[in-house]
Structure 1
């Protein structure tokens, strides 16, 4: 990939020194700028390819003018105010639009609405750039369900007689007017403010020694992860809460990870807000929208700070992947990831390792420098994240799908993670983290691993014949993993453990009762009433012998009670115990697990 310099095209280059720094979590703002310039070139190349396609098939433009009109307007912007052109091309959702539209044409698939509406978004990009450059012009832009978007600026709401139509944008002497069927809007002089028929894009700014300023974008049609989405306007109260949370989260990052905060300041452009979800903080990003993170609003700033670190790791790695080939194109869903409930392809696990490497560093910093009220939570999250990331990185390091550059990248991650494995964590929090990790892996196994039918048949026959100890057989054979789950996932025990860490002891049981999907057996287990938990999980399995979460919960309770063989079998081979139990239904699950556990390492 190349960029223009002194009239000549120059390739984008990232030095090995910068590559290694990025792998170790560093790199700084200078590396972010390298990645951003490469992203800009990539988007321009995609736009050029789309223009060439439209030139061959002008009917693709539908009711909109030729791409040449938009290209000419963009060229005017470049001559008048090249920085404004860069700002619009650098906009995260220019990237997601270019990628989405390219896939529609290349793969011949139907998108959300007609292809001309997506191709025609180039006119909206050109119009927004021209408004920023203070040019006089006229342009026709697409309208979706009455919304005419001007990327980086906002969205106008006009009357429309069909789901997809067009509107005219006219600018004279700085005055922006938009007209459509029975509608004529004159936009406010300050486009960041709202007015009748116009929603400006809000900006959240945190003044500090290292300043953070991001768009809170709830209107751009290409802000979603996979497909275009209509505006979902936040009310003023929600925006105020976002500003408060972001200000506090930014202070946490400046105090704990100042170098990462400085890098984030240079590379985080947009937050796409999503509603608050109790006990969850879903977030996501896409490699095509460099600089953007989709985040559900958390309840407190520490969670937001951790989430921003997590997503910014994804953003940086996605940018690097457009410059360096770290892996083969292997879409098979075959790898266990401790932060997902499904098997993942190599690409997804690599992204997860890098993201949770950042999360590990964040909670480590809070544990080392945080106040007493946050240290217990930080100790648990640090212990959980460091172990999961360490094991996964070391496993992935030997994967056949990695390139030499990919192994070098993982070596940098592992180099930083290694000394953290020896850092002290209070025993109580370390034990809770280990329990959550065991719970997650066992839940994943019972849902996605399929034991060998021959092994299951041999064990079922041996149990039914009354053998006191099962014969030693190969337990490694299976037909998994498969992406098709056998049973539902329940995160209730993990939710309760996290809640218990931050809740006063006298209030815990009342708080646990509000956790979705929590059963009396789960509450007994997290309360360390292991005998009761075993009995309750037995009762659950009597009602539903295939209940995945009850089998794993039974294993956790058996281990807690000291029934090591049963606990070992149910946590390391839960899919095998359940499969044998399906053959011998009239059997106590604990006795069966204890029997199988005698040959499970």
Structure 2
């Protein structure tokens, strides 16, 4: 599976990945050596993109003004390469060098502006060159772009200057030791210890921890403009207290990873070098990464080290897969939004599903390791939930014709590892709860994104109104293409409440703070199923279209043993709701949702 040609010149080093290494990656194995292979390939890819960008921009000098030609930056980088080649490697390996060069190349070729004027994005190459020269101790003089008063020196920090206008230029000068950033009459002198705060100077934060003999170092980047997922963003500087909070969380998370996933720790240490901190989102754990910013993850502040450890494993899986995808294609282009996943509320394309399966395979692995080494019910539930949800999604993916031969091999490698976990012992109540909540999410996805066949809706409605005991010739189609346009909103309250039950008692104030939680949801989470069913009926009386009330009723009835209505509400809720809507407009008397579901459920296979 080489990149390049067997007939390449001898002075070219080909980037190769063996099939055994490929298969190890599919099993979420593979150590730091494979990650370093990805890093070397990323270096070559970024250097090629950088040279290509410099070449095309140099041909249109007006795209650079008021900054110098990118050729000037290239000359500085060439000097760095001659004196300190490892410094150039460091600059090229910086995650946001990758996101910048990809973003700017696309802007230039499409001749669009982006968040900033094009010259600001193109001019970032001068900031990279300046940072490289500073690391190498070279004397130099150059100009860099300034956005809202911030002049970034990637991997080092940001000079803060007066901002009379959104975009301007600053001069950067060094004699090889002392560095100055000047704009007009303002001069920021970088301290000798560039990791220290100084007037007008924000250093790049760094966190280093060590547990069980394994160290982990990561940047806490709140300043680089290209740290965002899709577009550049302004700094969001953390306070000292916030940095201390993150340091404690990272310490706890690294301890958990080295203790429970020691075989993954060396690879993660080699592959994750930068975290982009985001504010906490109550009851959510949003995180993100992009293949262009290899080595970086955007992470919202979690509640505890357990959540952060799971997020780090999750994003590291994305990082590894992103590196692999620069070696080999696992799928053909297929933008159709057609898959359900338990980690997203909208229909997903094949590319997103493949990424999600691999990431949550890692999350499942983490919680499995914790569940195996103790009696932690939280870990056991998370293991049961993610193994079921990831396995279900993987089953929908395995035979997809849009996967390449390598893609099928990769997916089967995941399945070989994940499949046996489905039978591993978990407390029965937790396993049942996990499966029920996966079914809840799938039903909620169907009722919002699958439109039932109008002929079927009409036939079922007429049969009900006629008082028939059979649905002769009527089939409930299960394979209808979903639509991205949602018919109603969704609530994650039941899952949030169940998760909360492992850390707080049911009468705590946090339960009432769960977004969109209703009294029926609270009853369901407490195991009061009769009360929950009654509550969901009341909700549907008030709002017959609410998706979470329909599926909640199905969950409660399933727990009470009412299999026929539960089957209808959890396997084809879109049909039940559509028939209910039609009947309400035709019948003189209201129809009870569970009675209709019971009638439809008796005719389902």
Name the TM-score class by shorter chain. over 0.9
Using the TM superposition, give the Cα deviation of residue 510 of structure 1 relative to its aligned residue in structure 2, in angstroms. Answer: 4.7
Counterpart Cα distance in 1 of 2:509 and 2:74:
62
Tell me the CA shift for residue 527 of structure 1. 2.1
Residues 11-39 of structure 1: CA distance to partner in whole angstroms, max 9, x if unpaired?
21001111111111111000000000111
Q: Where does residue 522 of structure 1 map in the other structure?
A: 521
* Match for residue 181 of structure 2 among 156, 178, 181: 178
SS in 2 for 1:166: strand
Residue 570 of structure 1: aligned partner: 569
**2:112–2:118 Cα contact (<8 Å) kept:** no
1:210-241 deviation line (CA, Å, top 9, x unaligned): 21000000000000100000000000011111
Mapped partners of 1:432, 1:596: distance in 2: 25
Indicate if the aligned counterparts of 2:127 and 2:144 stay in contact, CA closer than 8 A.
yes
User: Take 2:161 and 2:596, find their aligned partners in 1: how far apart are those partners?
Assistant: 67
Aligned residue in 1 for 2:253:
249
| Match of residue 134 from structure 2 | 131
* Structure 1 residue 509: Cα displacement: 6.2
Q: Distance in 1 between matches of 2:46 and 2:370?
A: 38
Query: Aligned partners of 2:397 and 2:487: how far apart in 1?
Result: 26
The match for 1:533 is 532
**8 A Cα contact 1:492 1:515, kept in partner:** yes
Question: Alpha-carbon deviation of 1:584?
Answer: 1.0
- 1:46 Cα shift? 1.1
State whether structure 2 residue 109 is matched by structure 1 residue 110.
Answer: no
Give the match for residue 164 of structure 1. Answer: 167
CA distance in 1, matches of 2:84, 2:436: 58
Deviation string, structure 1 residues 429-475 (Cα, Å, up to 9, x no partner):
11110121111111111111111111111111111122133334221
> Conserved in 2, the CA contact under 8 Å of 1:452 and 1:478?
no
- The residue number in structure 1 matching 2:541 is 542
**Count of paired positions:** 595
SS at 1:259 equivalent = coil
CA distance, structure 1, for counterparts of residue 271 and residue 56 of structure 2: 32
- The residue that corresponds to 2:43 in the other structure is 40
Equivalent residue for 1:85, pick from 88, 92, 96? 88
CA deviation vs aligned residue, 1:291-340 (integer Å, no higher than 9, x gap)? 00111111211111111101100000001001111011111111111211
2:145–2:170 CA contact under 8 A, matched in 1: yes
The match for 1:237 is 241
Structure 1 position 42, deviation (Å): 0.9
Cα distance per residue 1:278-298 (max 9 Å; x no partner): 111111111100000111111
User: 1:321: which partner in 2?
Assistant: 325
Match of 2:192, SS?
coil
Shift of 1:422: 1.5
Q: Which residue of 2 aligns with 1:457?
A: 458
SS in 2 for 1:214: strand
Please, which of 59, 62, 82 is the counterpart of residue 62 of structure 2?
59
> Once the 2 structures are TM-superposed, how far is the Cα of residue 415 of structure 1 from its aligned partner?
1.1
Residue from 305, 308, 312 that aligns with 1:304: 308
Q: Does 1:481 align with 2:486?
A: no
Q: Which moved more, 1:74-83 or 1:189-198?
A: 189-198
Residue 362 (structure 1) aligns with = 366
SS in 2 for 1:326: coil
In structure 1, the partner of 2:556 is 557
Match of 1:422 in 2: 423
Instruction: Give the conservation status (yes or no) of the 8 Å contact 2:460–2:474.
Output: no
How many Å separate the matches in 2 of 1:400 and 1:71? 45
The equivalent of 2:581 in structure 1 is 582
- 1:477 Cα deviation after fit: 5.8
| Structure 2 residue matching 1:234: 3-state secondary structure | coil
Paired with 2:384 and 2:420, the residues of 1 have a C-alpha distance of: 13
Distance change >3 Å, CA 477–CA 30, structure 1 → 2: closer
Once residues 103 and 223 of structure 1 are traced to their aligned partners in structure 2, the CA distance between those partners, rounded to angstroms, is: 17
Which secondary structure state, in structure 2, belongs to the residue aligned with residue 310 of structure 1? helix
Worse-superposed segment, 444-453 or 413-422: 413-422
Residues 456, 580 of structure 1: 8 Å contact kept: yes
- C-alpha separation in 2, matches of 1:511 and 1:339: 23
> CA contact under 8 A between 1:451 and 1:478: conserved in structure 2?
no
Q: 1:277 aligns with which of 270, 281, 288?
A: 281
Q: SS in structure 1 opposite 2:226?
A: coil
Give 1:441's aligned residue.
Answer: 442
What is the RMSD computed on CA atoms of the aligned residues? Answer: 1.6
Distance (whole Å) between structure 2 residues aligned to residue 484 and residue 62 of structure 1: 44
Q: Following the alignment from structure 2 to structure 1, what is the Cα–Cα distance between the partners of residues 157 and 582?
A: 61
CA contact under 8 A between 1:176 and 1:187: conserved in structure 2?
yes
Deviation at 1:479, TM superposition (A): 4.7
* Aligned match of 2:471: 470
Aligned with 2:442: secondary structure?
A: helix
Deviation at 1:561, TM superposition (A): 1.9
More off after superposition, 520-529 vs 118-127: 520-529
Listed as ranges, the gaps of 5+ residues in structure 1 are none
Whether contact under 8 Å (1:327, 1:347) holds in the other structure is yes
Listed one character per residue, the Cα deviations across residues 143-190 of structure 1 (whole Å, up to 9, x for unaligned) are 101100010011111113221111000001411100113311111111
Match of 1:335 among 339, 356, 362: 339
After TM superposition, the structure 1 stretch with the greater mean CA deviation from structure 2, 337-346 or 5-14, is: 5-14
What TM-score comes out, normalization by structure 2 length?
Answer: 0.96
What SS does the corresponding residue of 1:9 show, helix, strand or coil?
Answer: coil
Residue 344 of structure 1 deviates from its aligned partner by 0.7
